Every structure is written in C-alpha cells, then in structure tokens.
Structure 1
Amino acid sequence: MQEYVDTAALISEIKKTASLFIAEFDGISEADKSLRLEEVDRTPQELIAYQLGWMNLLLNWDRDELDGKEVITPSPGYKWNQLGGLYQSFYEQYQEQSLAQLTALFVSTVDRLTQWVNDLSTEELFHPGGRKWAASTPSNWPIWKWVHINTVAPFKSFRSKIRKWKKLYLVKTPR
C-alpha cells in the first residue's frame, strides 16, 4: 500500500486522484449515466455513488465518535461481509441525482474530506488508535490507511472502470 510522508502528501494525492477520476465523466450524457454494460460491474452513476458513500462514511464515523455516539462500522445494518448490500444502499441514495449534481457532490465531498484530514493531528492521522472507529477491526489501522483505501485506491481503480465503460460504450454506440 502506498504510504505518505505527511498530511500534505496524503491530501495532495487525494486531490490529484479525485480530479483525474471525476474528469473521466466529462462527455457522458445524462441519459447514459445509469447504462449498465456487461463488461463493467458498475454504471457511471454507481461509480460516483460508491465514492460518495465511502467518503461520507469516513466523515460520519469521525463526527459520530466526536459527538460521543457509538460508531458502527461499516454502517448500521451492515457487516463487513455484507458490503454488496451497503454498496446498493449508496446507489439508491444517489440514484435521483443528475450527473452534474453527482459531480458537484463529489467535488464538495472531496473538499470536506481533505479539510477534515488537514484538521487531524499527525498523531491522530498516522498512528494506530487515533480514533476508536479506526481501531474497530483487527487490523487496527491508523486513520490515513482508512482514508487511502476509501479514496485514493478506488479513485485509481474506478478511473480504469469508467475509462473501460466509455471505450465499450463508443464501440457499442458508434457516433
């Protein structure tokens, strides 16, 4: 897994990969945002909804812990071995949003998330035990790993998915 020398490096990588990911949606029409192609496991709308879902979970886990609430990971009603259902809840939550609205939500959520990361101390961000929710699994990851695995990593892997979707779409619907 990629590592970061400091908070600024993590934030820089989040912003860079987020920008590259969301730019891939340029040129996709509103009418095609929910088009499922057999060779790609998610629609364009689902790719963005997935990202929004995980970023908001991270932010909500932290807010809830700081508010003294019990944090249930990954989310109330879901266990770690039930992520497919959790992903479906993300898709349903954002299904009525236009592609332009999803893009704007993505950009604003990345901004909120990077501000949150910036506000964490080095100790909180880079050392195990920075938050109880981060230590809620046997891996006992520091917060930065949770952030990386739910932002930078899928921004990169899902970028290749949307590129594949666009390539296949152009083959199936020549202009």
Structure 2
Amino acid sequence: MAVPRSKNELLAAISITFERLCTDLARVPHDRAHEASLEGHASGTVMSPADLIAYLIGWNELVLKWLEQDDRGLVVDFPETGFKWTQLGPLAQKFYADYRHLDWPALLDRLTVAKIRLVDTISARPEDELYGRPWYGKWTKGRMIQLNTSSPYANARARIRAWLRAGP
C-alpha cells in the first residue's frame, strides 16, 4: 500500500490494514493468544499474540495522547515521556506489561476502540493540519499517525499470518 498523502488516503490505509489484521486475528485460538512464541520487538525476545496486540494498543493510545497534547498547546514528548526513539524495545516491553491483565477478547476490543477514536479525531481535522506542514522534524502529522497505526497494523498482520502458518 502506498504511503498516504492526504486525509482520505490516511483514513483508507488505517481502515484497510485494520480490517485485514482483524480477519487474521479472528483465527488466533484463544488458548494460544498468550503463548510466547513470536519474535519480540526487542532483539532476542519473544512475545505472544496478546503482546503484539498490546503493542498496537500502546502505539494507538500514544498517538491519541500526542494529538490531545498538541490540541491543548502542550509540548509533545516524542515518543513517550521517559523514552527516546532509540529505546523502542523497552517501550514495547512497557506496552506488553500495561495490558498483560487483559484477556484476548478484551485486548481486541480495546484495540478496536483506539482505532475508532483515531479515525474520529483524524476525520475531525482539516487536511492542512494533517498534511500541510511538518509537525515532528520533517514529518507531517498525517505521516506520524500513519507510521504508528497503519504501518504497524500491516507488520502485525504479517507476523500473525506467519505464526498461524507455523502452527502449534
């Protein structure tokens, strides 16, 4: 899928990649959802499908936090307070821990709610806000949203599909 260059393309990318991911997530056996058998986000680690969903929730909710802070005129602490871009492995581990208490259906529901909230906030924003100017370094707000939503959805789908093919 091409990199979105407009609000409509961004919304389509999020919708398409999310629906494709959900189709494959529906095939994950509930009794294997917390099985640590996927390559983790940090080198040399393993994670479960549930951890993978926790990772997506973490990023989706983080993007929402960025947008809410920006809307309130606050400085956004990218990627997250206490983390640098070079510390994404530890940030992934934090996301796994943050949502470890949720069962598989609750994780999927929380991801869906975060995605709906993202679509709502993107839909309410003018094109120029999303793609008319840089927001973080050279990246527009739309590109930062895409890098942390539809791109990770596609990556997660590829991981889940490979995991499903490998079987138990």
Quickly name the TM-score band, shorter chain normalised: 0.7 to 0.9
Structure-2 separation of matches of 1:73 and 1:81: 11
Larger radius of gyration: 1
Structure-2 separation of matches of 1:32 and 1:73: 34
**In the alignment, what sits opposite 2:44?**
none
RMSD, aligned CA: 1.7
CA contact (8 A) 2:4 2:13 kept: no
CA contact (8 A) 1:4 1:10 kept: yes
Of 70, 76, 92, 2:75 maps to 70
Between the two proteins, what is the percent identity of the paired residues? 25
Cα offsets for 1:57-100 (capped at 9, x unmatched): 11101111222333211111111111111111111111111111
Q: Which runs of 5 or more residues in structure 2 are unaligned?
A: 41-46
SS where residue 24 of structure 1 aligns?
A: helix
Structure 1 residue runs of 4 or more that deviate by more than 6 Å after TM superposition: none
Q: Which amino acid aligns with 2:118?
A: L
Higher strand share: 2
Q: Which amino acid aligns with 2:82?
A: G
1:6 aligns with 2:6: yes
1:88 aligns with 2:93: yes
Q: Which runs of 5 or more residues in structure 1 are unaligned?
A: none
Of 99, 102, 106, 1:101 maps to 106
**In the alignment, what sits opposite 2:43?**
none
Q: Deviation at 1:128?
A: 2.4
1:57 aligns with 2:62: yes
Structure-1 separation of matches of 2:22 and 2:94: 21
Structure-2 separation of matches of 1:65 and 1:4: 21
Structure-2 separation of matches of 1:72 and 1:90: 17
SS where residue 139 of structure 2 aligns?
A: coil
Relative to the length of structure 2, the TM-score reads: 0.88
